[in-house]
Amino acid sequence: MTQPKTSAPLGKRISWNDPGVRSIVYQVIALCAVGAVVWFLVQNTLHNLSVRNIASGFGFLNREAGFAIGESLIDYGPANDYRRALTVGLLNTLRVAVVGIILATFLGTLIGIARLSKNWLIRKIASIYVEVMRNIPLLLQLFFWYAIISETMPGPRQALKPLPGVFISNRGIKIPWLQGEGLSWLVWGLLLAIVAIIVLSRWARKRQEKTGQIFPIWSVSTALIFLVPPLLWFFSGTSLSIDMPELKGFNFAGGITLSPEFAALIIGLVVYTSAFIAEVVRSGIQSVNYGQWEAAGALGLKNSLVLRLIVLPQALRVIIPPMTSQYLNITKNSSLAVAIGYPDIVSVVNTTLNQTGQAIEGIMIIMAAYLTVSISISLFMNWYNTRIALVER
């Protein structure tokens, strides 16, 4: 009688019935297939490049760009090289993303709260806003806002003045800005205030844990933020003046300009994304069980404390992950700038591509730039998410 075949001692035998063996075979096949496809594409690309006499590599970055860029945060002229031009594009993208994220968070939170308002009118207006804005493609909204600003708005001479010093015309939006050496003192003062608040809140928490005494950290922080920068400027004795835009000849002088492209892009992005953020905020607040409100009330907390200590920490846990994807969406959607002529990274790379023919390098630069930004945002939000996550005991 032969021995029954047990797998354990004779495990070295290779059999198709062994899931491990099968899995290895499948994986080798998959890797080979992917490798073959990549090899096929790379071969074709190399062949096509040599046929078309395109030198690959990033050497073109040091050549002179030779095209002007409408708006730039750093000094740039056509004589600069492509590297500088791409940096300008990247900075423009980041500027739109940062401003857009801040404004959309603010507006979106406001509308999300308005959708839960007890006031019927406010609730209806907010829900109509959300339904309309999120169901119209962003690109169309950008075209619409751009057309409104560049076609429907009056010229500089008849510019709209919604607030003193603010001019809206078809040349963009003009707003007053601070000028003079005092500006850097203000910035330093703000940084100092933030550092002081961080130190103070740590000390306050420690003291509360030890003695139970509550330090009024919120009012003190607000006072610090608003008082430290002006005081620092006042004692430094440097000059600071408000640069008001005014009409000179056919255009404005002074102040800072938001170009029509930038203004349309920001309005479009903020209006579109805030509708999504509103839904995120609403579902976050609604996810907090009603019993939590009642229990906190039963403990004798006042409403503002209930919101800050009980409801918001629980709502944020639901809000943060979808909020992260909305922030990523703003960043990625800022690439639509190319359609209305705002010089973001996609637009600059597009011009570079057309001039040099370096298609592969160009697309790789775009993808690398967005991947870096996306990954940094999601890393930061993941860090924040773990910080506020539920600690189960």
Partner 1 sequence: MSTVKTPSVALNDDAPAVRSSIWGWMKSQLFSTPLNCLLTILSAWLLLATVPAIVEWAFIKANISANTAQECRGTGGACWAFIYEKHRLILFGLYPYDEQWRPLIATCILLGVIVLSGVRRFWNPSLVLIWTLALVAVAILMWGGVFGLKFVENSLWGGLPLTLILSTFGIAFAFPFGVLLALGRRSKMPAIKSICVVYIELIRGVPLISLLFMSAVMLPLFLPEGMSIDKLLRAQIAIIMFAAAYIAETIRGGLQAIPKGQFEGAESLGLNYWQMMRLIVLPQALKIVIPPLVGIFIAMFKDTSLVVVIGIFDLTQAAKAALTDQSWRGFSSELYIFIALIYFVFCYSMSKYSQSLEKRLSTGYKR
Which residue is associated with the tokens 């100092």?
192
Between residues 78 and 297, which has the closer beta carbon with respect to partner 1? 297
Count of C-beta atoms within a 10 Å radius of residue 174:
26
Site map (CB under 8 A) of partner 1, residues 122-161, x = contact: x--x-----xx-xxxxxxxx-xx--xx--xx---------
Name the token pair of 27. 């994986």
Determine, following the binding rule CB under 8 A, whether residue 371 of this chain makes contact with partner 1. yes
Name the token pair of 242. 């408000």
Site map (CB under 8 A) of partner 1, residues 63-102, x = contact: ----------------------------------------
> For residue 225, what is the enclosing H or E element?
helix 217-236
Shortest spacing between CB 121 and partner 1, in angstroms: 5
Determine, following the binding rule CB under 8 A, whether residue 55 of this chain makes contact with partner 1. no
Candidates 44-52, 80-88, 234-242, 250-258 — which segment interacts with partner 1 by CB under 8 A?
Answer: 44-52
Alpha-carbon span 230 to 389, nearest angstrom: 37
Between residues 150 and 257, which has the closer beta carbon with respect to partner 1? 150
Determine, following the binding rule CB under 8 A, whether residue 359 of this chain makes contact with partner 1. yes
- DSSP 8-state class, residue 55: P
Q: Could you say which residues in the range 110-129 bind partner 1, by CB under 8 A? A: 113-114, 116-122, 125
Determine, following the binding rule CB under 8 A, whether residue 363 of this chain makes contact with partner 1. yes
Residues 6+ apart with CB under 8 A from 317: 385, 388, 389, 390
- Pick from 162, 175, 341: nearest CA to 258: 175
Determine, following the binding rule CB under 8 A, whether residue 316 of this chain makes contact with partner 1. no
Name the token pair of 41. 């594409």
Shortest spacing between CB 205 and partner 1, in angstroms: 23
Candidates 61-69, 174-182, 244-252, 293-301 — which segment interacts with partner 1 by CB under 8 A?
Answer: 293-301
Between residues 74 and 121, which has the closer beta carbon with respect to partner 1? 121
Alpha-carbon span 107 to 114, nearest angstrom: 10
Shortest spacing between CB 22 and partner 1, in angstroms: 10
- Whether the CB-CB separation of 222 and 158 falls below 8 Å is answered with no
The sign of the dihedral angle between the CA atoms of 7, 13, 14, 16 is: negative
Alpha-carbon span 46 to 60, nearest angstrom: 18
> For residue 178, what is the enclosing H or E element?
strand 177-179
Q: Which of 14, 47, 239, 380 binds partner 1 (CB under 8 A)?
A: 47
Total binding residues toward partner 1, as defined by CB under 8 A: 69
Q: Could you say which residues in the range 17-36 bind partner 1, by CB under 8 A? A: 23, 26-28, 30-31, 34
**Between the CA of residue 383 and those of 205, 248, 378, 380, what are the distances in Å?**
21, 50, 8, 5
Shortest spacing between CB 23 and partner 1, in angstroms: 5
Residue type, 44: N
- Pick from 313, 316, 309: nearest CA to 281: 316
Between residues 197 and 315, which has the closer beta carbon with respect to partner 1? 315
Name the token pair of 355. 């001039």
Name the token pair of 6. 């047990």
Between residues 144 and 188, which has the closer beta carbon with respect to partner 1? 144
Determine, following the binding rule CB under 8 A, whether residue 50 of this chain makes contact with partner 1. no
Alpha-carbon span 316 to 287, nearest angstrom: 10
Determine, following the binding rule CB under 8 A, whether residue 16 of this chain makes contact with partner 1. no
Name the token pair of 350. 């597009």
Residues that bind partner 1 (CB under 8 A): 23, 26-28, 30-31, 34, 41, 44-45, 47-49, 51, 113-114, 116-122, 125, 131-132, 134-141, 143-144, 147-148, 151-152, 285, 290, 293-294, 297, 303-304, 306-307, 311, 332-333, 335-336, 338-339, 346, 350, 353, 359-360, 362-363, 366-367, 370-371, 374-375
